Amino acid sequence: MDGTLDLVVIGTGPGGYRAGVLAALRGLEVAVVEAGDWGGCCLNRGCVPKKAWHHTARLLAAQAGFAARGIRGRLEPDLAAAWDHQERVVAAVQDSYVDYMQRLGIRAIRGRARLEGPGRVAVQTGDGRETLATRHVIVATGARPHIPPPFAPVPGRVLTTDMLFDAPPPPGRRVAVVGSGVVATEFAFILRMLGLEVAWLARSRPLHRTRFSPQALGALARALERHGVAARVGAVVERVEAGEAGVRLRLADGAEETVDWVLLGTGRVPVTEGLGLEAAGIETDARGFIRTDTRCRTGAPGVYAIGDCASPAMTANHALAGATTAVGDILAGGADGPALDAGRVPFVVYSALELARFGLDDEAAEDAGHEPAVGFAAFESNPRALGQDEADGFVRVLADMDTGSLLGAEIVGAEAGELVHALTLAPDPARALGWVAGGLYNHPARAEELLNAVETLAARWGIDVRQWQAAGDGARSA
């Protein structure tokens, strides 16, 4: 051994951690470098603690139907206890992460990394400076909160989502949630269910930048309204006054909102500064994302970038998919590894309803030259959904009419984020619907509506799903 590592991963969020583990499992000598907390944003300040809170919020929301189910009494939310609970969840997962890396022989280094030259990564640690020699590098440095004017972080008064999970929530019962994207849409529901009075201030219609259908967004809006949550669309904050008594927000239309504290759900920006990218010949785009190809390669040989620092989708799902792609390309040993189709990575929103989707929507399918065929099935008559008092939502499948190839899908309702895997795990788009049609199902199950949507599509458009399953070529029957 010449002391040269096979791979150095910069960042231990979901993508960086997965990349290090995959590489080590396949026999590569790996080091990971982390400047902050092990597990990155997702584990410490993002999807993991937020999902813990979302589950609590769903339990609280479900009590509206408790009396009819023969359950007496009422649940009372406790935000402080909920915060403590997610802290324990995060600590347990973080311990398992660190333990598993140790057992795999991954060298874990706490410090700030910088590309110093071909095959060299300099790490500034608390004890000094170290240079790692490596054959490959994966940059997975994530993102940080975007703070738009006129806001500025104020501990206890104006919080980013990072700050919300770094310290117990501030006192007070009235909070302003600012933003129209996924984070604001999720936290407006979660905080309302956890006992707060929520003023949701959104410049634009919630989730307007996503590809969810009007039917999906309408179903979510109705579910939110049932729980007393509605966005004030067109609310533009022009002035923020934070003091000991709370926060006063002055809006462009002259109105004012006075709250105890503010939560900014205004998006995130990639973290790429201080990495030596320019000197290494690695480009970023106008928004700061590292430019990569479909195999997550940057402009520097042997250097890859994955996750929020490279993907405008900015989800843990895309980071995990990028890790698989980058490590696969490294293991290909000079040949091309499988390319990443980012559009087929699931995109999920956890709010008053779960929304999950992947692939093309109707407009994008037509723009790409497809003749889309739609299969639809609702949960309103699904025995399992009715038994759970969670019959809102539907499954919507989009296929090419001529080939039967799966173009995309949308699932709305409870467990949508789990159900979507039954479609994304198919061998390939050409065989996906045959895969679903040929499956064997538990009854009663929400997953049966996937089968019903495919069968509806086949019956309506005269497509033989048995042919898809047998031939695997997506051919349409004569």
Catalytic residues: 443
**In this structure, are residues 420 and 348 in contact, taking their beta carbons and an 8 Å threshold?**
yes
Other beta carbons within 10 Å of 78:
13
Say if residues 300 and 312 touch (Cβ distance below 8 Å). no
CB atoms within 10 A of CB 349: 25
Q: How far apart are CA 274 and CA 141, in angstroms?
A: 11
Coil, strand or helix at 68: helix
Give every CB contact of residue 54 below 8 A, 6+ residues apart in sequence.
186, 190, 350, 351
Give the CA distances from residue 89 to residues 61, 108, 183, 315, in Å, rounded to whole numbers and listed in that order.
22, 22, 20, 20
Q: Which of 333, 339, 304, 319 is nearest to 8 (CA)?
A: 304
3-state secondary structure of 208: coil
Q: Which is nearest to 360 in space by CA: 400, 304, 420, 320?
A: 400
Residues linked to residue 474 through DSSP beta bridges, in sequence order? none
Would strands 7-10 and 30-34 be described as parallel, antiparallel, or unpaired?
A: parallel
d(CA 404, CA 398): 9
In the block, tokens 């009419």 appear at 401
Instruction: Using DSSP, state whether 168 is helix, strand or coil.
Output: coil
Q: Is 369 left (phi over 0), alpha (psi -120 to 50) or beta?
A: left
Contacts 24+ apart (CB under 8 A), 169-174: 169/79, 169/80, 169/83, 169/261, 170/260, 170/261, 171/260, 172/246, 172/259, 172/260, 172/261, 173/197, 173/260, 174/199, 174/246, 174/258, 174/259, 174/260
Say how far apart CA 181 and CA 205 lie, in whole Å. 9
Q: Please report which residue ranges of 172-257 form alpha helices under DSSP H.
A: 182-193, 214-226
Gap between the Cα atoms of 466 and 438, Å rounded: 8
**DSSP label of 63:** G
| Dist CA 386 CA 278 (whole Å) | 56
